[in-house]
Amino acid sequence: MAQLSRRDFVKIAAGAAAVAGGGALTLKLFDKAEKGRPAVEGKKAASNKIDYTRARAIPTVCFGCTTHCGCIGWVQDGRVRRIDGNPFDINTRGKICSKAQGMIQYTYYPERLLYPIRRVGKRGEGKWKRISWDEALAEIAGRMKKTRESGHPERFIFHYGRDKTKGFTSRFTNAYGTPNRLNRRSICSSNRRAPLMSFYGRDFEWETQDFANSKYIVNFGGNPMEAYQGGIFMMGRMMDAIVDNGCKMVTFEVRPSATASVSTEYYPVAPGSDGAIAAAMGNVIIQEGLADRKFWDRWANYSFDKIAAHLEQYTPEWAEKISELPADVIRRVAIEFARAAPAATTLSNRGSAKHYNGPQNDRLIRLLDVLVGSVGKPGGFTLSTVRGWNGKRYGQWGLPAVGQPGPKPPGVKAFTPGTPQFDDLPQDVKDRWDEFPDKWKKKYVGELATPMDYPLSFHWYGMKVGQLVQDYIKRGRHKVEVYMSYVYGAAYGYPEAKVCREVMKDETLIPFHVAIDIGYGEHSSLADMILPEATSLERWDGHSQNSYALIPYTGVRQPLVKPLGQARPLQDILKELAVRIGGGMEKYFDYESTEEFYKAWYKNVPIAWPEFLKRGFWHDDTRSKDYELYEQPVPEAEMAGAHVDDSTGVIYKQSKRGREVAIGLMMGDRPVRGFPTPTRKIQIYDPVWQEAARFVGLPRGDLSGAVIPTWMPVPEHLTMRDDQLVFTTFKWNVHTQGRSGGWKYAAEIVHTNPVFMHPETGAKLGLDDGDMVQVTTYRPQGFTYRAGETEPVDSFQNRVKFHSGMSKKVVAVSHHGGHWEHGAIAQASSGDLKDAGKMAAYDPALVKDRDIPDNIWWRTDRGGSGNGVCINDAIPINPSPMIGGQNWMDTVCDVKKI
């Protein structure tokens, strides 16, 4: 395989670069179909110019994606006109991306929900009537009160897509008494968070590499230049290092991504092979005598000689057969990486982790940083703060306490035999209780929040297994009375979304569904009632994120304008419901206003509230960076009353609740913090993997439960035919999954999703560029949901687009296209809504926006490509063993011309 030069890559990956620079790719996807923008006659664009002498600049926090960048909104005449970066945000350093402008687009979205509505036809039929807030809240509170007082509060489900209220929603669900505050972590990132927390402890669910000072970066399927939590924080520092510091970045990926385009070297590799490459690199580092033995012996909890012996089997030549990456490249990159240490770091994300073998892939990748001693070092794999300091979090000493004011409701107690909640469980679940380890019994609160089959989804913290929720409800593993969804899109965007739609339409399974949303989406269309929520430009939120400046900080999202129509912030909706439900819930929401609540949240920030709002962010610029947090000494005052376990060196102290908690590790005669793991060291060896594997019944030979990082293949990739391909997905950098389909200018840049494949692959299948093809997908193998079934999962049709530089084993399709809701822009339709029942929730003045239908030039009736296809029904539900993270990138498929 030939290495691709920067010049060659620019030619073959022009698509990714085009989108990064303005999105020319989708204008030229199909020359025969796309005819360009039609002229709009007789209409003049409304002026959106800013008069800076009259406009007001207000800091807030972006919610165009989950990176949450500090920004400044310019408000004139009661309308947000422009978004700029906030220089007080030490993460972004005043930079933003195009998705920040998306906040303006969804705030003034022509088909945005602005009034409460109640269905009047069959569920999903699209017939609605406008109701008052009082009517809506009275009915919801009445139903929820009845469920709570019945002794089964767990039959209320709160299911969210993106909840960045920093615990406000858990305040509500805890006060109510339900454990079922369900997230989408399994869809997103649980496969990569689990290895991190296994290695470094619960406080480090997300890494924070010191890219600004790196000399060498090895990237396994991470893509901060397109879509990545923290991407904007990372990309600027990466480019600074590459351009100014001579940093070298090597990327292994299945397709030429935007991140690959700025890498020094890029190599297309076979899907799911990242762990094999990492294992071989580890072998080379040890064989060449380049491992940092001093660091390993001090901080790894496993014998160096044993790990060396374990890695001997993983030679570069062995890895070449699996990955199609030349052995000499593996060997050279490993040596260069080790020699650049400690200013060297790995990077990984969905490309490595969203596979059946993903957790082990990432454990092997994490191993590289430990071998070369770059953990916590300048330019290395640093571990900075993840949340605002609450008095307990690791590594955040010296910061003011920020967080929810009291009184706080207690957490939901574990389900145990004899309680109504436990008695409500299916018999097969009850039968396993005696075998369930005590460590998980203490956390068990039912099959939706803590499913027994996936104990590592809640071992470190609650990551949930969201793609199985509707299926579990269908199979009777949990009873539901009230289901509340919050900006949630499973009926469109989850794997086998048709399963979700089937369950959500069944009133015997979901008797009442209330959706809280900004836009009328595929999931909210299946509700009985929809409540319009305020956008991020109209609401408050607390904000703290892991800091790539390696100095903890805190910020605040504040409203720039009042909510349009009758939309309300989620916090106001939940507070009003708590008061109406009563029964003690109301005491946790006893504050004058939402602003007063957040003012109390930040009461310890050492600047006045008006000044904090004026800046939007605060950090201690005298504080040193978070390097080598594990070497920080345990303060003398904290050692008072502590004792040391002589066999392990772990320092324990009794907490206020009477529990023994680890606070550090004795290194010689010096007490240091260490890592927040059971051994206070880096857990190369972690028996919890084997313990979970034994309980769930993982078959012998399946190495998902290996106690040390171990390579394993993806089962279905071993048995696929030569003419079959691996179906993989990706995200465009102007979109936020499927939630941004109605953003006018983002949709104009990227509105369709062709089937990308290597031209040689196309030639073998008898295809020409632009041909219409049918993609048919199949069930996975291995220890997972419905594994081994031979019937196809589903199929879809779209045009093929050749793209050199891809792995010849894959086809890649972005998963944002093909909406049948979310309005005219997302659907690429005419926008004729006068007969739609949901018009009751719209503002007629906004719906008359001239861009609908005049400027949706990609409509098929105008010769455009349309809005693409929804691929998610064809992606099988495929949870990884023990953790439950969705294996998006493993699906085997057939591709044929039609």
The confidence band for 13, taking pLDDT boundaries of 50, 70 and 90, is very low
Average of pLDDT values for 447-462? 97
CA-closest candidate to residue 552, choices 619, 638, 479:
619
Instruction: Specify the 3-state DSSP secondary structure of 824.
Output: helix
Determine which helix (DSSP H) or strand (DSSP E) holds 415, and give its type and residue range: none
The three-class DSSP label of residue 718 is helix
Q: How confident is the model at residue 205 (pLDDT cuts 50, 70, 90)?
A: confident
Residue 235 structure tokens:
């990309």
pLDDT on residue 48: 65
Angle ∠(648,650,653) on CA atoms, nearest 5: 140
Beta bridge partners of 207: none
Token pair recorded at residue 256: 């030429």
Rounded CA separation 159/316 (Å) = 45
Residue-level pLDDT at 37: 41
Query: DSSP E strands: which ranges in 349-435?
Result: none
Give the residue among 775, 732, 772 at the shortest CA–CA distance from 751: 732
Sign for the CA dihedral angle at 201, 204, 205, 207 comes to: negative
* Residue 20 pLDDT greater than 90, yes or no: no
Please name the residue that has the structure tokens 């919610």. Answer: 63
Q: Across all residues in the chain, what is the average pLDDT?
A: 91
Does the pLDDT value for residue 570 go beyond 50? yes
Q: Is pLDDT of 3 > 60? A: no
pLDDT of residue 851: 81
Q: Which residues does 463 contact at the CB level (< 8 Å), separation at least 6? A: 183, 185, 186, 190, 193, 194, 457, 883, 884, 885
Instruction: Give 195's pLDDT tier (boundaries 50, 70, 90).
Output: very high
Statement: residue 9 has pLDDT above 50: no
Flag whether pLDDT at 561 surpasses 90: yes
Contact 897, 766 (CB under 8 A): yes
CB distance 22 to 265 below 8 Å: no
Q: What is the pLDDT of residues 131-188, one digit of tens each?
A: 999 999 999 999 999 999 999 999 999 999 888 888 899 999 999 999 999 998 999 9
Residue 39 pLDDT greater than 60, yes or no: no
Q: Which of 185, 432, 282, 310 is closest to 706 using CA atoms?
A: 310
Answer whether 293's CB lies under 8 Å from 338's CB: no
Collapse the DSSP code of 803 into the 3-class scheme (helix H, G, I; strand E, B; otherwise coil) and give the result: coil
More confident residue, 551 or 797: 797
Q: Which of 658, 682, 668 is nearest to 633 (CA)?
A: 668
Cis preceding-peptide flag for 853 (omega within 30 of 0):
yes
Residues with Cβ within 8 Å of 523's Cβ and at least 6 positions away in sequence, in order, are 485, 488, 489, 490, 491, 492, 500, 504, 515, 517
Task: Provide mean pLDDT across the span 189-199.
Answer: 96
Nearest to 61 by CA among 75, 72, 47: 72
**Per-range mean pLDDT, top range of 3-7, 29-33, 501-505:** 501-505
Calculate ∠ Cα 219-224-226, nearest 5°: 120
Helix (H) or strand (E) holding 691, with range, is helix 688-696
Query: Which whole number is the average pLDDT over 11-37?
Result: 35
Residue 726 near residue 893 (C-beta atoms within 8 A): yes
At residue 287 the predicted structure's pLDDT band, cuts being 50, 70 and 90, is very high
CA–CA dist 733, 235 (Å, integer): 12
Examine the pLDDT at 336 and tell me if it is beyond 80.
yes
Q: Say what angle helices 570-581 and 168-176 make with each other, to 10 degrees.
A: 20
Mean pLDDT across 703-729: 97
Residue 407: predicted pLDDT: 95
pLDDT band of 839, cuts 50, 70, 90: confident
Distance CA 362, CA 300 (A): 17
**Alpha carbon of residue 219 to chain centroid:** 18
pLDDT at 164: 81
What is the pLDDT at residue 833? 57
For residue range 791-826, what is the model confidence (pLDDT) as tens digits?
A: 999 999 999 999 999 999 999 999 889 999 998 999
What is the number of H-type helices and E-type strands within the chain? 33, 27
- How far apart (Å, rounded) are the C-alpha atoms in residues 750 and 19? 8
Render 851-877 in DSSP notation, one character per residue.
Answer: HHHHT-TT-GGGTS-TT----GGGSPP
Half-sphere exposure of 637 (CA within 13 A, CB side): 0
d(CA 226, CA 733): 4
pLDDT reading at 114 higher than 60:
yes
More confident residue, 626 or 247: 247
pLDDT, mean of residues 251-275: 97
Confidence of residue 659 (pLDDT cuts 50, 70, 90): confident
Residue 240 burial by CB count (10 A; 0-12/13-18/19+): exposed, middle or buried? middle
DSSP state of 222: -
- Read off the pLDDT of each residue in 266-288 and give the average, rounded to a whole number: 98
Strands 529-532 and 541-543: unpaired
Backbone angles phi, psi at 169, to 5 degrees: -70, -35
Structure confidence by residue, pLDDT tens digits, 47-104: 568 899 999 999 999 998 888 999 999 999 999 999 999 999 999 999 999 899 999 9
**What span, in angstroms and rounded, lies between the C-alpha atoms of 67 and 392?**
24
Q: What is the DSSP letter of 400?
A: P
pLDDT for the residue 163: 86
- DSSP-assigned letters across all residues of 78-100: TEEEEEEE-TT-TTTTT---THH
Burial letters 811-846, b for 16+ CB under 10 A, else e: bbbbbbbbbebbbbbbbbbebebeebbbbbbbbeeb
Query: pLDDT, tens digit, for every residue of 177-188?
Result: 999 999 989 999
Identify the helix (H) or strand (E) that includes residue 217.
strand 216-220
The structure's pTM equals 0.93
Site of tokens 């594990």:
630
pLDDT tens, position by position, 376-419: 999 999 987 544 333 345 555 556 788 899 999 999 999 999 99
Q: Residue 397's pLDDT is what?
A: 57
Check: CB of residue 706 under 8 Å from CB of residue 756: no
Question: Pairing mode, if any, of strands 265-268 and 248-253?
Answer: parallel
Judge whether residue 675 has pLDDT over 90: yes
The angle at the Cα of 461, spanning 523 to 692, to the nearest 5 degrees, equals: 105
Considering only CA atoms, which of 386, 449, 374, 354 is closest in space to residue 202?
A: 386
With beta carbons less than 8 A apart as the criterion, state whether 353 and 365 touch: no
Q: What's 574-633 look like in SS3?
A: HHHHHHHHCCCHHHHHCCCCHHHHHHHHCCCCCCCHHHHHHHCEEECCCCCCCCCHHHCE
* Count of beta carbons in the 10 Å neighbourhood of residue 403: 20
Q: Give the pLDDT of residue 893.
A: 98
Q: Give helix 327-340 / helix 316-323 axis angle, nearest 10°.
A: 120
Residues forming beta bridges with residue 347, ordered by sequence position:
219
Q: How far apart are CA 488 and CA 737, in angstroms?
A: 12
The answer to whether residues 408 and 415 touch, using CB atoms and an 8 Å cutoff, is no
**Hey, what are 19's tokens?**
């989108």
Mind spelling out the 3-state secondary structure of 653-710? EECCCCCEEEEEEEECCEEECCCCCCCCCECCCCCHHHHHHHHHCCCCCCHHHCCCCC
- pLDDT at residue 111, rounded to an integer: 87
Least reliable range by pLDDT among 109-123, 339-353, 561-575 = 109-123
By the 8 A CB rule, do 762 and 888 touch? no
Q: How many Cβ atoms from other residues are within 10 Å of residue 664's Cβ? A: 25
What would the pLDDT profile of 682-697 be if each residue is shown by its tens digit? 999 999 999 999 999 9
- Work out the average pLDDT over 435-456: 97
What would the two tokens of residue 91 be?
């993460």
Burial 881-894 (b: 16+ CB within 10 A, else e): bbbbbbbbbbbbbb
Per-residue CA distances from 113 to 106, 355, 552, 564, 589 (Å): 10, 37, 37, 9, 26
Measured in degrees and rounded to the nearest 5, phi and psi for residue 73 equal: -100, 135
- pLDDT of res. 207: 87
Q: How confident is the model at residue 837 (pLDDT cuts 50, 70, 90)?
A: low
213 and 241 in contact (C-beta within 8 Å)?
Answer: yes
Residue 841: the pLDDT is 85
Average pLDDT value for residue range 876-883 = 98
